[in-house]
C-alpha cells in the first residue's frame, strides 16, 4: 500500500550504535562464532582454546587516554600455570597529567561523529558540502568561498588556456572518440588549441533512422559554445559507393530520414573549426559535415571527427611543434620575397612559405630504377630528427655537355624551390624574420684542385644538409631549436670520356641532424628566508 | 585599639591575596582555553560562551575587589554589601567553570576549587565586617 511505502521512505536509517564498554570491545574478534587465534578478548573462545595461545594480540583495551580516569581491560596469558590460562582484569586507569580531561559537556568531543545518513531531503545539501575534492568541517566557511569565486565567473568573456575544455551552455564541447575499444564514447571533451582527429565506430539501428541522435547534424551544432553559435560551413554528401559531392547551399539542416529503404543524412564525418583571438577568446565556430546513407543490413557506422583551431586574421600555417620542433614533423622553410634588400632593417615583409607543409624542405627521393635522369619523381620532405640519405646513379655518356649536366644535377639535388630560410622554432611565424635561420651554402670539391686554371668540368655529386640544433628552455621540458643549417655541395671533375664509353657515378643527398646543445646550467634558488609567523589565531579573542 | 578601628585586617589581606590569585587564575584559564581549542575539537558556538564568561568574571572581580576594599577601609557597609552581592555572581561563574564548561581539565578543577574556597572565606569575613560596621 502506498502509505507504508511513503513511511518507509521517510524513515531515516542510522548506522549501528557505537560500542563504548571496554569489556565488550574486541578488535581481534573477526570470525563470527569461531575462536580467533591469539585473541584473548574473543568471547567465542573457551578455556581450552586459551590454553593453546602463545601471546595476546590485543593486551589492552582503553578509552581515550586523555581522560583523567577511565576503564581499561587488560588481557594477559599466565604461562606459568598448567594449562596456560587467560587473565582478564578490569581496572581504572588514571592519567597523572594535570591537564587530563575531568569532564566534558560536549557530547561529540571524544568520539567520532556518526555521519549523516543521506535521504531525499538532505541529499542536495550533503552533495554540496562533500561533493568536491576537498571539504571543510564547517559548512559556513565553504559557502563563503563560493561567494568569493562568483565575481570572477560573472565576467562574460572566457579566457582559455591550452588544454582547457571548451565550455558550452550546458557542459563541454565533446568530440566522440574511441575509448578502450573502437566504439564511440561521447565523453571526450575538446581541449582548447588541442587539434584532435578521431575515428570510432557506432552501432546503429536502421529501423529507428530518425531517432539516432549521434548520427544527426543537430546533435553536433546544437550545443553553442558560450556566446558563439556553431555555424555549418560545408556539407558533403557521400553515396553508398563512396562518391562524394559538395552541396551548394549549406544552410539547410539535413536530418536523418528514410528514403527508398535507405537511411540518409547520417553523419559519417564531422570537423569543427574554431577561430580564436590571441587573448584566448573563441569568436567563431564552424562545423563541416560528411553525410552518408546506410542500408538496412548495416549494423554499425564508422564516424571520423576532427577539431582544429585557427588564430583570427592569420592563415592557418601548419606548425611542426610548439614551440620546439617535434621529432618527425617536417622542417619549415621559406623564401624572402623578391625585391627586398639584404636583412638589416626590422620592417621586413613576411617570408613566403609553401602552403604544403611537407614541401618546404625536401631532398631527392630514391626511386626503384635509380636513374637520376629519369623523370623527376616526388621528393621526400625532411623531417626533424631523422637523418636521411638518398641517391641515384648517373650514367654519363660521351655526348653529355658539362653545363646542362651541372644544371640538371643541381636541380635534382636541390629541387625546384630550394628555400633560403629555415624556421628556428616549430611555430615560427612568417612575420618574425628574426626567428628564421638562413641556409648557408658551401662548396667543396672531391679532388684537391691545384691547377684552378685548367677549365675542367665540375659537376655536383652530393648535397649534404647539416642541421645543427640545440635544446632550448627549461631542463624538464627542453624545446628543439634549429641554430644553423648548412648545405654543402660537393663537386667532382668530369673527365671527358672517349666516345662510346659510359660511366656511372653515384649521386647522393643526405640530411644530418646534430645536437649542439650546451650542457645545462644549473639555476640556483635564492637563499631560504626565515619565515617565522605566529599561527593566525594566536591572539584569538583579541583578534 | 581594635575598638576604634572597625576595618577588618584579615579581610584586607584576603582582598590583596585574592587580587593576585585572580590575575593568575585569569591568565591560566585563558591559556587553557587556547590549549583546548588547539588540541581538542572546540567549535565556535561552544568557545564563545566560555570566553564571554571569563571576561565577565574578570570585570566582576575587579568591581568586587574595589568595592570591598573601599567599604572595608572606609568602614561603610554599603559598598561591602554590594561587593557581597557581586560575590554571588562570581561564585556562579566559578561554578560554571568548574562544572559546566565544555572541557573541564583537572587543572580547572584545582584552580576553581581554590577560588571558591577564597570566595567562601571572604564572604564570611565580609559578613562579620558588615555586622561590626552596622552595630
Write the residue in A102, A138, A541 that is nearest to B104 by C-beta: A102
- A241 — contact with chain B (CB < 8 Å)? no
Question: Which pairs with CB-CB distance under 8 Å and at least 24 residues apart come from A444-449?
Answer: A444/A488, A444/A489, A444/A490, A444/A491, A445/A490, A445/A491, A445/A492, A445/A493, A446/A490, A446/A491, A446/A492, A446/A493, A447/A492, A447/A493, A449/A493
Per-residue confidence band for A7, with pLDDT thresholds at 50, 70 and 90: very low
Q: What residue of B is the nearest CA neighbor of A140?
A: B44
Considering A34-43, A399-408, A472-481, B52-61, the range whose residues carry the highest mean pLDDT is B52-61
Q: Chain A contact for B114, CB < 8 A? A: no
User: Which pTM value belongs to this model?
Assistant: 0.43
Residue B59: inside a domain:
yes
Q: What is the separation of C-alpha A525 from the centre of its chain, rounded to a whole number of angstroms?
A: 30
Q: Flag whether residue A101 sits within 8 Å of chain B, measured between CB atoms.
A: yes
Query: To 10 degrees, what angle do helices B44-73 and B77-95 make?
Result: 160
CB contact under 8 A, A102 and B108: yes
Contacts of A540 in chain B (CB under 8 A): 34, 37
Q: Is A65 on the interface with B (CB under 8 A)?
A: no
B-chain CB neighbours of A109 within 8 Å are 40-41, 102-103
Confidence at residue A356, expressed as pLDDT on a 0 to 100 scale: 66
Mutation pick from A102, A110, A112, A538 vs chain B, by most beta carbons of B within 10 Å, is A102
**Chain A contact for B99 (CB, 8 A cutoff):** yes
Q: What is the DSSP letter of B98?
A: I
- How far A71 CA lies from chain B's nearest CA (Å)? 18
Higher-pLDDT residue of A480, A153: A480
Give residue-wise pLDDT tens across range A54-105: 888 888 988 888 888 888 999 988 888 888 888 889 999 898 989 999 988 8
Nearest to A68 among B37, B40, B106 (CB): B106
pLDDT on residue A317: 66
End-to-end CA distance of chain B: 17
B30 contacts in chain A (CB < 8 Å): 541
Measure the CA–CA gap between A365 and A141, rounded to whole angstroms: 69
The pLDDT mean for chain A works out to 80
Minimal Cα–Cα distance from B6 to chain A, Å?
Answer: 42
pLDDT tier, A142 (very low <50, low <70, confident <90, very high otherwise): very low
Give the closest of A98, A105, A541 to B107, CB-based.
A98
Looking at the complex, does the CB of residue A105 fall below 8 Å from at least one CB of chain B? Answer: yes
Chain B nearest-CA distance from A275, in A, is 53
Residue A336 pLDDT greater than 80, yes or no: no
Alpha-carbon distances of B64 from A99, B61, B96, B122, B126, rounded to whole Å: 30, 5, 18, 11, 12
Choose, out of A539, A541, A542, A543, the residue to mutate when testing the contact with B (most B CBs < 10 Å).
A541
Domain membership of residue B6 (yes or no) is no
pLDDT of residue A337 exceeding 80, the answer is no
The answer to whether residues A520 and A475 touch, using CB atoms and an 8 Å cutoff, is: yes
CA-to-CA distance for A251 and A256, rounded, in angstroms? Answer: 16
B110 touches chain A (CB under 8 A): yes
A539 touches chain B (CB under 8 A): no
Residue B36 CA to residue B104 CA, distance in Å, equals 10
Contact B103 A101 (CB under 8 A): yes
Q: Is residue B92 part of a domain?
A: yes
Whether B32 has its CB under 8 Å from any CB of chain A: the answer is yes
A109 and B CB contact within 8 Å: yes
Q: Is residue B119 part of a domain?
A: yes
Of B51, B100, B106, which is closest to A98 when you measure between CB atoms? B106
In Å, how far is A134's CA from the nearest CA of chain B? 19
pLDDT tens digits along A156-197: 455 788 888 888 877 788 888 888 888 888 888 888 888 888
Report the pLDDT averaged over residues A308-335.
81
Nearest residue of B to residue A111 by CA position?
B41
Q: What percent of chain A has pLDDT over 70?
A: 84
Does some domain include residue B19? no
Please answer yes or no on whether A106 and B46 come within 8 Å at the CB atom: yes
Whether B98 is in a domain gets the answer yes
- Interface ipTM: 0.83
Instruction: Report H helices in A131-264.
Output: 139-153, 217-221
Question: Number of structural domains, chain B?
Answer: 1
Q: Answer with the residue of higher pLDDT: A449 or A48.
A: A48
Among A77-86, A294-303, A313-322, the minimum mean pLDDT is found in A313-322
A497 touches chain B (CB under 8 A): no
Is residue B104 a part of any domain in this protein? yes
Q: Could you tell me if residue B88 is inside a domain?
A: yes
Residue A492 contacts residue A445 (beta carbons within 8 Å): yes
Q: Can you give the residue range of the structural domain that contains B105?
A: 53-134
pLDDT digits (tens, 9 = 90+) for A34-68: 888 888 888 888 888 888 888 888 889 888 888 88
Q: What residues of chain B lie within 8 A of the CB of A104, using their CB?
A: 102-104
* A108 near B CB under 8 A: yes
Residue B55's SS3 state is helix
Alpha helices in A175-222 (DSSP H): 217-221
Closest CA to A322 of A478, A473, A426: A426
B100 part of contact set with chain A, CB < 8 Å: yes
B45 close to A (CB below 8 A): no
Question: Which chain B residue has its CA at the smallest distance from A540's CA?
Answer: B34
Give the count of Cβ contacts less than 8 A between chain A and B.
47
Cα A491 from Cα A514, distance rounded (Å): 23
Number of other CB atoms surrounding residue B34 within 10 Å: 17
- For the beta carbon of residue A357, count every other beta carbon within 10 angstroms: 16
Q: Which of A10-14, A54-58, A258-262, A334-338 has the lowest mean pLDDT?
A: A10-14
CB B7 within 8 Å of CB B72: yes
* Chain A residue closest in CA terms to B101: A105
Amino acid at each position: 500500500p502506498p502509505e507504508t511505502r511513503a513511511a518507509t521512505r521517510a524513515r531515516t536509517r542510522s548506522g549501528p550504535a557505537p560500542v563504548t564498554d571496554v569489556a565488550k570491545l574486541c578488535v581481534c574478534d573477526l570470525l563470527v562464532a569461531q575462536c580467533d587465534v591469539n585473541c584473548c578478548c574473543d568471547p567465542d573462545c573457551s578455556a581450552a582454546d586459551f590454553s593453546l595461545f602463545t601471546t595476546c594480540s590485543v593486551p589492552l583495551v582503553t578509552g581515550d587516554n586523555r581522560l583523567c580516569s577511565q576503564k581499561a581491560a587488560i588481557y594477559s596469558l599466565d604461562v606459568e600455570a598448567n594449562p596456560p590460562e587467560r587473565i582478564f582484569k578490569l581496572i581504572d586507569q588514571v592519567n597523572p597529567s594535570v591537564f587530563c580531561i575531568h569532564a566534558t559537556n560536549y557530547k561529540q568531543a571524544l568520539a567520532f561523529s556518526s555521519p549523516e545518513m543521506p535521504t531525499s531531503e538532505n541529499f542536495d545539501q550533503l552533495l554540496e558540502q562533500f561533493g568536491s575534492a576537498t571539504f571543510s568541517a564547517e559548512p559556513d566557511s565553504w559557502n563563503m568561498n563560493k561567494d568569493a569565486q562568483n565575481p570572477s565567473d560573472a565576467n562574460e568573456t572566457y579566457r582559455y588556456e591550452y588544454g582547457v575544455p571548451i565550455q558550452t551552455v550546458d557542459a563541454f564541447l565533446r568530440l566522440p572518440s574511441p575509448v578502450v575499444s573502437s566504439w564511440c564514447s561521447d565523453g571526450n571533451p575538446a581541449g582548447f588549441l588541442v587539434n584532435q582527429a578521431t575515428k570510432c565506430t557506432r552501432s546503429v539501428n536502421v529501423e529507428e533512422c530518425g531517432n539516432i541522435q549521434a548520427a544527426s547534424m543537430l546533435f553536433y551544432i546544437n550545443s553553442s559554445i558560450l556566446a558563439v553559435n556553431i555555424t555549418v560551413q560545408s556539407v558533403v554528401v557521400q553515396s553508398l559507393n563512396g562518391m562524394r559531392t559538395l552541396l551548394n547551399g549549406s544552410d539547410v539542416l539535413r536530418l536523418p530520414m528514410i528514403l527508398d529503404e535507405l537511411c540518409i543524412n547520417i553523419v559519417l564525418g564531422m570537423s569543427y573549426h574554431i577561430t580564436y583571438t590571441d587573448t584566448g577568446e573563441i569568436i567563431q565556430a564552424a562545423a563541416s559535415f560528411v553525410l552518408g546513407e546506410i542500408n538496412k543490413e548495416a549494423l554499425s557506422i564508422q564516424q571520423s571527427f576532427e577539431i582544429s583551431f585557427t588564430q583570427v586574421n592569420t592563415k592557418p600555417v601548419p606548425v611542426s611543434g610548439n614551440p620546439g620542433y617535434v621529432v618527425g614533423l617536417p622542417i619549415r622553410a621559406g623564401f624572402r620575397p623578391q625585391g627586398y634588400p639584404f636583412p638589416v632593417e626590422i620592417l621586413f615583409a613576411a617570408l613566403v612559405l609553401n602552403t604544403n607543409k611537407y614541401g618546404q624542405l625536401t631532398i631527392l627521393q630514391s626511386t626503384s630504377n635509380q636513374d637520376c635522369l629519369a623523370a623527376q619523381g616526388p621528393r621526400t620532405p625532411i623531417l626533424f630528427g631523422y637523418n636521411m640519405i638518398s641517391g641515384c646513379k648517373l650514367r654519363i655518356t660521351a655526348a653529355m655537355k658539362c653545363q646542362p649536366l651541372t644544371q640538371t644535377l643541381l636541380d635534382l639535388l636541390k629541387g625546384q624551390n630550394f628555400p633560403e630560410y629555415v624556421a628556428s622554432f616549430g611555430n615560427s611565424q612568417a612575420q618574425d624574420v628574426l626567428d628564421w635561420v638562413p641556409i648557408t651554402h658551401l662548396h667543396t670539391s672531391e679532388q684537391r684542385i691545384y691547377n684552378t686554371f685548367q677549365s675542367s668540368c665540375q659537376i655536383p655529386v652530393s648535397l649534404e644538409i647539416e642541421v645543427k640544433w640545440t635544446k632550448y628552455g627549461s631542463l624538464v621540458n627542453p624545446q628543439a631549436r634549429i641554430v644553423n643549417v648548412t648545405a654543402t655541395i660537393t663537386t667532382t671533375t668530369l673527365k671527358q670520356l672517349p666516345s662510346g664509353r659510359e660511366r656511372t657515378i653515384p649521386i647522393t643527398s643526405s640530411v644530418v641532424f646534430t645536437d649542439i646543445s650546451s650542457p645545462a646550467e644549473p639555476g640556483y634558488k635564492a637563499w631560504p628566508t626565515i619565515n617565522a609567523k605566529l599561527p593566525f589565531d594566536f591572539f584569538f579573542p583579541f583578534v | 585599639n581594635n575598638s576604634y578601628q572597625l576595618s577588618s585586617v584579615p579581610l584586607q589581606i584576603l582582598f590583596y591575596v585574592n587580587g593576585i590569585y585572580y590575575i593568575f587564575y585569569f591568565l591560566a584559564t585563558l591559556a587553557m582555553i587556547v590549549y583546548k581549542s588547539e588540541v581538542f575539537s572546540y567549535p565556535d558556538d561552544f568557545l564563545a560562551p566560555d570566553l564571554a564568561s571569563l571576561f565577565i568574571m574578570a570585570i566582576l572581580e575587579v568591581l568586587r575587589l574595589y568595592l570591598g576594599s573601599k567599604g572595608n577601609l572606609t568602614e561603610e557597609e554599603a559598598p561591602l554589601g554590594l561587593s557581597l552581592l557581586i560575590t554571588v555572581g562570581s561564585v556562579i561563574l566559578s561554578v560554571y567553570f568548574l562544572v559546566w564548561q565544555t572541557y573541564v581539565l583537572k587543572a580547572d578543577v584545582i584552580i576553581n576549587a581554590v577560588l571558591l574556597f577564597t570566595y567562601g572565606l571572604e564572604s564570611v569575613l565580609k559578613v562579620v565586617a558588615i555586622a561590626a560596621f552596622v552595630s
